Amino acid sequence: MDEDLKTSAKGQILSIRDLPTLPKVLDEVSRLVQNPNTSIEAIAKVISRDQVLSAKVLKMVNSPVYGFPGRISSIQHSLVLLGINVIRGVIISTSVFEIMSKNMQGLWEHSVGCSLATGLIARKAGLKDPEEFSVCGLLHDLGKVVAAVQLPELHKAVSEAVRERDLRWLEAEKAVLGFGHDRINSWLADHWHLPGTIKEAMSSHHRPERAQFYPQHAAAAHVGDFVVRVFEYGSGGDDQAVPLSEAALGILGLKLGDLDEVMDGFAENLAEVSSISFDSEDGASGKERA
Amino acid sequence: MGACLFQRQQRGMLLTPDAELGALFKRLWDPLEVEWTIFSRGRRAMEAIFNEPPDLLVVDNRLEDIKSAEVAAIVKSENVYRQMPVILCLDRDDFAHEWNWNEIEADDFLVRPFSDREARERVQLTLCRASRAMDANPLTKLPGNTSIISRIQDLIDRKDDFALAYCDLDYFKSFNDKYGFSRGDEVLMMTARVIVNTIRGFTGVRSFVGHVGGDDFVFIVPAKIAEEACRRVVEAFDGIVPHFYDEDDRDRGCIVSTDRQGVVRTFPLMALSIAVVFNTGGRLKHYGEASAIAMGLKKKAKENPKSCYVLDRRAE
**B130: confidence class by pLDDT, cuts 50, 70, 90:** confident
* Candidate ranges B12-26, B38-52, B70-84; pick with highest mean pLDDT: B12-26
- Closest partner residue to A66 (CB to CB) among B193, B240, B243 is B193
pLDDT band at A277 (very low <50, low <70, confident <90, very high): low
Closest CB to B243: pick one of A36, A71, A85.
A71
Q: What is the residue-averaged pLDDT of chain A? A: 90
Q: Is the CB of A68 less than 8 angstroms away from the CB of B139?
A: no
Quote the pLDDT of residue B90: 96
What domains appear along chain A, each with residue ranges and CATH number? 18-92 (no CATH), 101-274 (1.10.3210.10)
Helices (H), chain A: 3-14, 23-34, 40-47, 51-61, 75-82, 84-92, 101-124, 130-139, 142-150, 152-165, 169-176, 181-191, 196-204, 215-230, 246-252, 258-274, 280-286
Chain A interface includes B251 (CB < 8 A):
yes
Q: What is the mean pLDDT of residues B164-172?
A: 95
Kindly determine whether residue A80 and residue B203, on different chains, have CB atoms separated by under 8 Å.
Answer: no
Task: Answer yes or no: is pLDDT of A275 > 80.
Answer: no
Residues 6+ apart with CB under 8 A from B141: none
Going from the N-terminus, what domains does chain B have, and what CATH number goes with each?
10-130 (3.40.50.2300), 145-315 (3.30.70.270)
Average of per-residue pLDDT across A171-195 = 95
pLDDT in tens, A40-95: 999 999 999 999 999 999 999 999 999 999 999 999 999 999 999 899 989 988 98
pLDDT reading at B209 higher than 80: yes
- Measured between CB atoms, does B234 come within 8 Å of chain A? no
Question: Is it the case that residue A284 has pLDDT exceeding 80?
Answer: no
Length reported for chain A: 290
Q: Which helix (H) or strand (E) holds B11?
A: strand B10-15
pLDDT digits 0-9 by tens, B242-300: 999 999 999 999 999 887 888 999 999 999 999 999 998 888 888 888 888 888 888 88
Query: What is the complex's ipTM, to 2 decimals?
Result: 0.87
- Closest residue in A to B233 (Cα) is A80
| pLDDT range class, residue B133, cuts 50, 70, 90 | low
Question: β-pairing, B86-90 with B254-258?
Answer: unpaired
Task: State the Cα torsion A132-A134-A136-A140 to the nearest 10°.
Answer: -170
SS (H, E, C) B205-245: CCCEEEEEECCEEEEEECHHHHHHHHHHHHHHHHHHHHHHC
The secondary structure of A114-143 as a DSSP string is HHHHHHHHHHHTT-S-HHHHHHHHHHTTHH
CA-wise closest residue to B193 among A81, A62, A61, A70: A81
Q: Does B236 touch chain A if contact means CB atoms closer than 8 Å?
A: yes
If you ran DSSP here, which 8-state letter would residue A48 be given? T
Tell me how crowded residue A239 is: count the other CB atoms within 10 A of its CB: 13
pLDDT of A148 above 50: yes
pTM equals: 0.86
Average pLDDT for residues B129-149, to the nearest whole number? 86
Amino acid code (one letter) for B239: G
Q: Which of A38-42, A51-55, B47-51, B310-314 has the lowest mean pLDDT?
A: B310-314
E strand or H helix at B132: helix B116-133
A192 in Cβ contact with A63 (< 8 Å): yes
> pLDDT tens, B96-113?
999 999 889 999 999 999
Q: Please give, rounded to a whole number of angstroms, the shortest distance from the CA of B232 to a CA of chain A.
A: 10
